[in-house]
Amino acid sequence: MSNKNPIKIAIVSLGCPKNLADMEGVLAYLKGISIVNENEAKIVFLNTCGFLKAARNEVFENIKKLKNKKIIILGCLAGQFKKEDFEKYPQIYAVVSSVNYLKMQKIMEKVAAGKKVYKISKEPTKFESFAGKSLLTPQSYAYVKIAEGCDNRCSYCLIPHLKGKYRSRKIEEILEEVKDLVKLGVKEIILVAQDCGCYGKDLYGTNSLANLLQKMEKITGDFWIRTLYIYPERIDDELLKTIAKSKKICKYLDIPLQHGDAEILKKMARPSNIKNIMEKIRKIRKIIPEITLRTSLIVGFPGETEKAFKNLQKFVREIKFDHVGVFEYSREPNTAAYGMPNQISARTKSIRRGKIMLIQQKISWANNKKVVGKRTRVLVEKHDSQANIYVGRSQRFVPEIDGEIIVKPKKVPHSLLFSGSCKPLNEFYDVEILVSKEYDLYGKFL
């Protein structure tokens, strides 16, 4: 395909950072393209999420909205589409599962020529890496996928059905990608997988996340390393000590606990010993006193009685997480929980979610107040020239999920604001925190 007449494509990437990382790999592989907005595009890559009913609804809303385009479906939901869907949705020109992503150049060219392509194959048994990465995130951070699939078999979760068994990416491939990103000026590397704590067991015979982090830390450059999604049973002393000693690894753990009632956790097929979970949290905070903790919780799981919900509220109040994502249980076909008795009404789930969010809002604010008056390192990512404020994050905040730090610089003449005197973005600065809110912090440059 000639670069003089590039194929105009648009990207609509739905779902989680793991999905986004896949799309970045596909883009790096494609030749003879020009990325434009949806109105100008000839072809739209629709990167789908199939994890929850709401996510699937969003996919079909986008398909309908893009009725005058040629759509290439990829992502988690691709495997659920059939050849018959080409007739139902004439705007769909290709459906491609992840094992076929390296064939995307030819697929795209066929679609551009008006041909329809159906490339659905079983998930591979090994992690398949792309040769490069074309960032869809701001330059300040990048997601690096270290594994695919999942072996946990939680009773509410579709991921094993959609993505297959857990398969790790080779350490050497991860390190090469990280080195390339750091050379590009990326300041925060965020490792993602369905459960990062399982990393390496299939390749190296043992959980190897700590080993990976130790090798990453040796890469030359001034950057942060952050790991998302580590289940509590995978957090061992070696991992905690690695994080505690490091100058690059963020003192931040994202631990999906899902609930705080033992019976509900059993039904979820999650570790249900609440005492052990509490002890693990205490150990984490002892080894890494400055740690920031995030978790995700599900309310309204089948059989969640008032007593079970009260146990969840007690659990949230006792642990005092810094950040919590609360989700209403979604009844998904092909999961063990789908046929469980005592399903909870939508109204009750909504009310319970609101109650947990209100409890957590107060906890988050109280935790944020503890950093007021302290000096913290902030990665500054945005500047609003009209308000003359900078926006960034400390290690406490994951992009697009947690809060932000709003920084007011020292006063300068208005004429200088547009003369190149602004602080460079995508750099680290020392900031004193002056004010805290429920989710955001406010400070000044030092």
* Low-confidence winner among 103-112, 238-247, 406-415 (lowest mean pLDDT): 406-415
Q: Is residue 421 predicted with pLDDT exceeding 90?
A: no
Least Cα distance to 11 among 46, 39, 42 occurs for 46
Question: What pLDDT digit, counting tens, does each position of 190-199 carry?
Answer: 999 999 999 9
How far, CA to CA in Å, does 52 sit from each of 191, 230, 298, 331? 23, 21, 13, 8
Q: Is residue 399 predicted with pLDDT exceeding 80?
A: yes
Q: What is the pTM of this model?
A: 0.95
Q: CATH second-level architecture of 375-445? A: Beta Barrel (2.40)
Instruction: Yes or no: say if 146 and 191 are a contact pair by the CB < 8 Å rule.
Output: yes
Question: What pLDDT digit, counting tens, does each position of 123-148 carry?
Answer: 778 898 888 899 999 999 999 999 99
- The domain covering 7-119 belongs, at the CATH homologous superfamily level, to Response regulator (3.40.50.2300)
Question: What pLDDT digit, counting tens, does each position of 330-376 carry?
Answer: 999 999 999 999 999 999 999 999 999 999 999 999 999 999 999 99
Least Cα distance to 323 among 367, 283, 375, 369 occurs for 367
Class of CATH domain 141-369: alpha beta
Biggest CA–CA distance in the chain, Å, is: 67
Contacts of residue 87, Cβ cutoff 8 Å, sequence gap at least 6: none
Quote the pLDDT of residue 412.
52
* Domains of the chain, residue spans: 7-119, 141-369, 375-445
Count H helices and E strands in the chain, helices first. 13, 19
Question: What pLDDT digit, counting tens, does each position of 239-259 carry?
Answer: 999 999 999 999 999 999 999
Q: Where are the alpha helices (DSSP H) in 115-164?
A: 159-163
